[in-house]
Structure 1
Amino acid sequence: MGALETMMPPPKRARLNGVEIGYYEAGPREGVPIVLSHGFPELAFSWRHQIKALGDAGRWVIAPDQRGYGLSGKPGKVPDYDIDHLTGDMAALLDHLGVEKAVFCGHDWGGLVVWQMPLIHPGRVAGVIGLNTPFMPRGPSDPIAGMRARFGPDMYIVWFQNPDEPEAVLGADTTWTMDFFMRKPAAAPADPPPSASGSTFAFRDLLKMWDPSSDARERLLSPDELAVFADAFRDGGFFGPVSWYRNFTRNWERSATLPGRIDGIPCLMITAELDAVLPPSAAEHMPAFIGDLETKLVKGSGHWTQQEKPDEVNRLMLDWLDRRFPK
């Protein structure tokens, strides 16, 4: 058996919000459940260490492969991946499980989803845990235009707006792609070198130039763990995952009618010291927008915090849950 079978509970499936969602569940079906929302390019498997720790601690934990990923359905139109669909899947998952409210915990893109849950589905949220990804108040202008102006056309989120090419490049060799992404930080965080066009975070060019034999970053995953990610994206492709990014402008336009702050629920923000994409400084504004917030720092971790420093993440989550949602 591979790592997916040995490190995860048996998968479950349900038709939710117009798409089939595959999800994993552990712990007793009692108390306030914790729903884990993964990022890009990840899977529910990214939460394998938290699923075991939370379940072993007697917490009901649920981790879906979100739409476009892994075992879940992969709709073929870009608007199928906007924030209303992504948060709607989470609410529908609670409906399927017969649950009124959950604590939502999200990393990377999953963090964007869970911070929007109390704004779009306030009656379904008992609390929020952000991992690396802070709550981001609505900006004054289209975020893609801003990123294009600041980082250039090849910055990965701007590049992802182009049709077809990003998923072709990322999907050409998924073992290569996932091995490039899933590494620990080499040292102190620093922006990747710019592309020929001057763009930073130009993953297209970095993937082409990358030489794993000279990469100073330590591998994060065992070969069996890497195979789980590589196989999932080889089978499912990157159209769905990249299309999450293609809705940045749509989501910004939609957010004009949403509340601008979160009050009335406890929130935990866990930052990672060496995350170059989402540094701790990105969360410094949050106390002005969240009424009940605790912030914790995981030292020595890069971007893949729940996989790089699972024991520390588990400790921080369980400590907060035990205080704010005692069993």
Structure 2
Amino acid sequence: MTLLSIRTDAGVFDARAAGPPDGRPVLLLHGFPQTGLVWRRQIEALAAQGHRVVAPDQRGYSPGARPGRPEDYRMGLLVEDVVAIGEQLGWAAFDLVGHDWGGAVAWWTAHAHPGRVRTLTVVSTPHPGALATTLRTDEDQRSRSRYMIDWREAPATEERMLAHDARDLRGFFTGAVPDDSADTYVRHLSEPGALTAALNWYRAGRPDGAIGVVHVPTLYVWSTGDSAFGAAAARETRRWVDGPYRFETLHGVGHWVPEEAPEILGRLLLAHLRAHGEH
């Protein structure tokens, strides 16, 4: 892998990249509380098959693109970042992959810019419309999602997560994420202002508009051990995709799928890209 600095109007995004420059482009979006490093194993697998792969540290995670206000992390701006990064890379269209918050951004990007997204792969995060439906109808999902409200409290959330050598922050990863990766995430988010920027994704408020069905070929990967997203939202997602759709369930895997089941996810992703070379 090589490191890139991608300069946009919103700031400079740090990114990891691999694969031939003329390879089919794939953009990978991480979630909270991680960085583009989460995709390390998938970057290697995709690059080995000739893809050009870029995994940026998203808004707030890149020091050069870290505005201070919660409203600077609205979904519309996060989607604009994805489009701007693609433009700076010279990609007219690309395969888009997202996990956790990166998955939410990927859903919104595929809906708003279907001409730019060749295929969509989302890991863990249900379609936002499916999640909204189950938050109204499913008590299990409401219980799972309460942390999203709790984490809006500032600065108490930052203080709690970083107390005692970031014990709570590090605890998210215990037993599921390699220790060296967990150390990197904790060190990165312990930098001044970094954790607040990451939590501002939760504090930004509702999206500016509504999201509808997604038309691009979509792979959705959900795991039975996911603490944030339950089965109801995962099943409901099918109703929000009217293009080619594949739903894969990983049994006995938790929320951190890219690192808990890297080989399985890599195989699924490559099969999805092969199945939809053009559309």
Whether TM-score is above 0.5 comes out as yes
CA distance change for structure 1 residues 93 and 140 in 2, over 3 Å: closer, same or farther? closer
SS for the counterpart of 1:235 is coil
Residue 23 (structure 1) shift? 0.8
Number of the residue aligned with 1:5: none
Residue 180 (structure 1) aligned to one of 171, 177, 184? 171
CA distance in 2, matches of 1:45, 1:174: 22
Give 2:127's aligned amino acid: F
Residue 177 (structure 2) aligned to one of 210, 217, 220? 220
Trace 1:118-137 onto structure 2 (pairs within 5 A). 118-137=110-129
2:265 aligned with 1:309? no
Trace 1:231-310 onto structure 2 (pairs within 5 A). 231-236=187-192, 237-249=194-206, 251=207, 254-256=208-210, 258=211, 260-263=212-215, 265-291=216-242, 292-310=244-262
2:109 aligned with 1:117? yes
Give 1:170's aligned amino acid: M
CA distance in 1, matches of 2:46, 2:164: 34
- Asked whether the equivalents of residues 13 and 62 of structure 2 are also in contact (C-alpha less than 8 Å), the reply is no
CA distance in 2, matches of 1:44, 1:262: 25
CA distance in 1, matches of 2:40, 2:165: 20
User: What runs of 5+ residues in structure 2 fail to find an aligned partner?
Assistant: none
Number of the residue aligned with 1:323: 275
Trace 1:145-160 onto structure 2 (pairs within 5 A). 151=143, 155-160=146-151
Residue 75 (structure 1) aligned to one of 48, 64, 67? 67
Give 1:19's aligned amino acid: G
2:169 aligned with 1:169? no
CA distance in 1, matches of 2:257, 2:202: 21
CA distance in 1, matches of 2:176, 2:251: 18
CA distance in 2, matches of 1:164, 1:276: 24
Number of the residue aligned with 1:20: 12
CA distance change for structure 1 residues 35 and 139 in 2, over 3 Å: closer, same or farther? closer
- Asked whether the equivalents of residues 107 and 122 of structure 2 are also in contact (C-alpha less than 8 Å), the reply is yes
CA distance in 2, matches of 1:325, 1:234: 41
- Asked whether the equivalents of residues 101 and 124 of structure 1 are also in contact (C-alpha less than 8 Å), the reply is yes
Give 2:227's aligned amino acid: A
The Cα offsets for residues 187-214 of structure 1, whole Å up to 9 and x where unpaired, read as xxxxxxxxxxxxxxxxxxxxxxxxxxxx
RMSD: 2.5
CA distance change for structure 1 residues 163 and 101 in 2, over 3 Å: closer, same or farther? same
CA distance in 2, matches of 1:233, 1:139: 27
The Cα offsets for residues 129-169 of structure 1, whole Å up to 9 and x where unpaired, read as 0101111217889x89x99xx549x9321122223211222
Q: How many residues align?
A: 272
Residue 248 (structure 1) shift? 3.7
Residue 323 (structure 1) shift? 1.6
CA distance in 2, matches of 1:112, 1:68: 16
- Asked whether the equivalents of residues 26 and 51 of structure 1 are also in contact (C-alpha less than 8 Å), the reply is yes
Residue 281 (structure 1) shift? 3.5
Residue 279 (structure 1) shift? 3.0
What percentage of aligned pairs have identical amino acids? Answer: 28
The Cα offsets for residues 34-72 of structure 1, whole Å up to 9 and x where unpaired, read as 111111111101111111111112111110000111555
CA distance change for structure 1 residues 248 and 32 in 2, over 3 Å: closer, same or farther? farther
Residue 33 (structure 1) shift? 1.2
CA distance in 1, matches of 2:38, 2:85: 19
User: What runs of 5+ residues in structure 1 fail to find an aligned partner?
Assistant: 1-8, 184-217
Give 1:11's aligned amino acid: L
The Cα offsets for residues 225-255 of structure 1, whole Å up to 9 and x where unpaired, read as 2221121011153111111011242x1xx12
TM-score by length of structure 1 reads 0.76
Larger Rg: 1
